[in-house]
């Protein structure tokens, strides 16, 4: 095989070269009109422009050799012809004209003239009195040059608009007749550079797609056994959990062509384009069987057709219908497996989720501690990290982080190390990157008055003390009076010790007390309250209302789901809205929410009044050092390390 054959890449489409015929035609037309304008308004420099008196003088002087008469109107004629230029001979009215025979004119002495005259009988007799002058009359129509000159600007504008429009179409849709062609890009396995080892923290999802990989590698084995492989798999999960990465890993592991397209690429401004692109995409995929089609953000075209959750859109419905038929219709052929990703599975059409189309729904959830540890290991290989960095501590301190968040964390740590001129990222860089990703970057440039610094110190100290004296509150990670992220002043940062998927009533009550601690500290110390606790009150109110209306944690109203009247009515798939509660029930809900908030406020007041000295000590330390972590606070207040204990009733196995 030659080198040229070995370098051939089948993934690259052979695009036809653009023919230069159209460009040549437009160039010739433009040149033609330029020549017409030039001949019309810019005669040759050898042509003399005369008026009627100049012509009569030259005629009397015997300089005229020939005249071509072209009528322009009834009285105006255009004269063109040859004349003999003699600088010494000057024609006057008193000098008798000396006839000059045409044979006396030499070719080198021939010149041309152009003149417009008013044709009369006297002028006709004057012209006839010189028989040696050759006179020709041309009855030429002059309307078409005028018409061309008039229409030329219009034609140029139309041509320019057509040129720009056709070019825009070619750039957007590869030609006016190519709108229905699929925009799916075929990627060969060797171009993906993604392996299964790069997908960490999703062990269950990788097991789900293992059968798809085996089928793509050896489809004959499954056909001989009579087994049917799933035609499609829907990857669901929050943003950043690795849905697209898993699809690339599947195509790379199966060593098959990979067609990638986004759901929004199907919908265009022209009707029927989306359905045509779906058919063309599957037709291309069948020519490369077995292969894999990946549709990212499929909710752009797969929204439910018979509910008010997505609105009406005929073009999107036609695209969805075409996709349903191609995946499982009368003429469906095997060998093409469809993977789709979405973070909104609740809005997808039920016909798209039934067996035979998307047979499997693979969930990629936020990783747990073990998954976060593996993800950090994958991304830490790409940067230089210090040997003292403990990834277990970072994984334990990043609950709720997705794979994309962890990748951003590692990258931010590398940037911090480079900014501080270090050879490798240290543990301090990793922790600062974690805090930056979760809460935002410190804003030390903000100018804060001394009064607001003291107010912020007591406010954050109030949150911290209440959190450290509540048994079920989330442990304090760090407290600062430096603005960070969206916080205008300070922030009290808490981190759970472990992943938690449920919250108890005791935890909700302690969390509301912690939120009220800042406002109560201001009231105790300054005998006044400020607007700095507005976000705390908002968060506490949401918790209390959720306890009463959603979680059924109120003894008076009981375990009943109530609709929040501040939100719009949710609509089920069958179009039936949830029932709203009565005004009497609304009043009971408001009273119970207020009671929970007042009890949390009173609980925070009791803790802070009892620990008033600790409040002063912690506030002074914050004013001096500005930032303290949980270990420093416990050492300052001589508090023991928190015990890793849960609720007593849970420990006893109830």
Active-site residue set: 460
Alpha helix positions (H), 64-142: 121-128
CA distance 389 to 380: 10
Query: Is-contact 171 324, C-beta < 8 A?
Result: no
Query: Is-contact 386 427, C-beta < 8 A?
Result: yes
φ/ψ bin of 527: left (φ > 0), alpha (ψ from -120 to 50), beta (otherwise) = left
Q: What is the 3-state secondary structure (H, E, C) of 356-419?
A: CCCCEEEECCCCCHHHHHHHHHHHHCCCCECCCCCHHHHHHCCCCCCHHHHHHHHHHHHHHHHH
Rounded to the nearest 5 degrees, what angle is found at the Cα of 327, between the Cα atoms of 321 and 332? Answer: 115
* Distance from the Cα of residue 218 to its chain's centroid: 38
Query: Is-contact 266 296, C-beta < 8 A?
Result: no
For residue 189, the tally of other CB atoms under 10 A from its CB is 18
Rounded to the nearest 5 degrees, what angle is found at the Cα of 53, between the Cα atoms of 48 and 58? Answer: 60
What single string gives the DSSP state of each residue in 146-206?
HHHHHHHHHHHHHHHHHHHHHHHHHHHHSSTT-TTS--PEEE-GGGT---GGG--S-HHHH
Query: Is-contact 489 509, C-beta < 8 A?
Result: no
Count of residues for the chain?
A: 654
Q: Residues near 319 by Cβ (< 8 Å), separated by ≥ 6? A: 266, 267, 274, 275, 277, 278, 301
Instruction: Give, in order, the Cα–Cα distances in Å from 524 to each of 46, 128, 467, 491, 517.
Output: 105, 124, 17, 20, 10
- End-to-end Cα distance, the chain: 74
Structure tokens that stand for 315 in this block:
């073009």
Structure tokens that stand for 37 in this block:
């304008």
Query: Is-contact 258 187, C-beta < 8 A?
Result: yes
The label of the residue with tokens 């001979």 reads 89
Structure tokens that stand for 47 in this block:
């042509």
Query: Is-contact 64 132, C-beta < 8 A?
Result: no
Alpha helix positions (H), 209-356: 210-217, 219-225, 243-254, 273-287, 314-327, 350-353
CA distance 235 to 339: 7
Closest among 234, 232, 235 to 356, alpha carbons compared: 232
Q: Residues near 548 by Cβ (< 8 Å), separated by ≥ 6? A: 554, 557, 562, 589, 592, 593, 596
């Amino acid at each position: 095989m030659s080198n040229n054959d070995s370098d051939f890449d089948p993934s690259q489409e052979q695009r036809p070269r653009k023919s230069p015929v159209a460009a040549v035609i437009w160039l010739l037309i433009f040149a033609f009109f330029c020549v017409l304008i030039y001949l019309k308004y810019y005669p040759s420099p050898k042509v003399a422009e005369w008026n009627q008196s100049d012509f009569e003088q030259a005629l009397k002087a015997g300089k005229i050799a020939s005249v071509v008469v072209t009528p322009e109107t009834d009285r105006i004629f255009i004269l063109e012809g040859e004349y003999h230029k003699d600088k010494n001979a000057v024609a006057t009215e008193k000098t008798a004209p000396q006839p000059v025979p045409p044979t006396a004119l030499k070719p080198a002495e021939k010149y041309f003239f152009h003149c417009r005259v008013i044709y009369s009988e006297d002028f006709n007799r004057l012209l006839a009195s010189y028989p040696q002058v050759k006179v020709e009359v041309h009855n030429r129509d002059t309307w078409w040059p005028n018409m061309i000159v008039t229409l030329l600007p219009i034609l140029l504008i139309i041509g320019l608009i057509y040129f720009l429009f056709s070019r825009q179409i070619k750039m957007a849709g590869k030609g006016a007749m190519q709108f229905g062609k699929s925009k799916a890009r075929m990627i060969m396995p060797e171009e993906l550079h993604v392996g299964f080892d790069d997908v960490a923290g999703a062990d269950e999802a990788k097991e789900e797609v293992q059968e798809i990989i085996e089928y793509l590698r050896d489809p004959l084995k499954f056909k001989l056994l009579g087994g049917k492989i799933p035609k499609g798999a829907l990857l669901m999960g929050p943003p950043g959990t690795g849905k697209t990465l898993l699809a690339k890993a599947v195509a790379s592991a199966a060593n098959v062509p990979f067609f990638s397209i986004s759901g929004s690429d199907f919908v265009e401004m022209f009707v029927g384009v989306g359905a045509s692109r779906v058919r063309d995409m599957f037709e291309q995929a069948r020519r490369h069987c077995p292969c894999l089609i990946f549709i990212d953000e499929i909710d752009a075209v797969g929204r439910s057709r018979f509910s008010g959750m997505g609105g009406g859109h005929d073009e999107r419905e036609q695209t969805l219908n075409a996709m349903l038929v191609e995946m499982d219709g009368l003429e469906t052929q095997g060998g093409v497996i469809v993977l789709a990703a979405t973070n909104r599975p609740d809005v997808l059409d039920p016909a798209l989720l039934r067996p035979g189309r998307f047979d499997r729904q693979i969930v990629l959830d936020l990783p747990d501690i073990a998954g976060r540890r593996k993800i950090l290991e994958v991304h830490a290989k790409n940067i230089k990290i210090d040997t003292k960095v403990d990834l277990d501590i970072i994984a334990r301190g990043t609950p709720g982080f997705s794979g994309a968040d962890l990748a951003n964390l590692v990258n931010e740590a590398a940037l911090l190390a480079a900014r501080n001129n270090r050879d490798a990222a240290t543990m301090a860089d990793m922790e600062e990157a974690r805090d930056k990703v979760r809460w935002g970057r410190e804003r030390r440039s903000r100018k804060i008055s001394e009064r607001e610094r003291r107010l912020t110190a007591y406010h954050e100290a109030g949150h911290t003390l209440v959190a450290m004296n509540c048994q079920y509150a989330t442990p304090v990670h760090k407290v600062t009076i430096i603005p960070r992220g969206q916080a205008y002043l300070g922030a009290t940062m808490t981190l759970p010790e472990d992943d938690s998927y449920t919250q108890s009533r005791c935890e909700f009550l302690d969390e509301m007390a912690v939120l009220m601690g800042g406002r109560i500290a201001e009231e105790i110390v300054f005998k006044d309250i400020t607007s700095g606790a507005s976000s705390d009150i908002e968060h506490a109110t949401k918790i209390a209302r959720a306890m009463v209306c959603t979680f059924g944690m109120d003894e008076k109203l009981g375990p009943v789901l109530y609709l929040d009247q501040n939100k719009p009515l949710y609509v089920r798939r069958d179009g039936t809205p949830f029932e709203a509660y009565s005004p009497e029930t609304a009043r009971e809900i408001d009273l119970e929410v207020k009671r929970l908030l007042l009890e949390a406020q009173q609980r925070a007041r009791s803790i802070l009044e009892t620990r008033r000295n600790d409040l002063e000590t912690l506030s002074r330390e914050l004013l001096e050092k500005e930032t303290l972590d949980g270990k420093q606070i416990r050492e300052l207040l001589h508090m023991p390390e928190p015990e890793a204990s849960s609720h007593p009733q849970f420990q006893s196995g109830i």
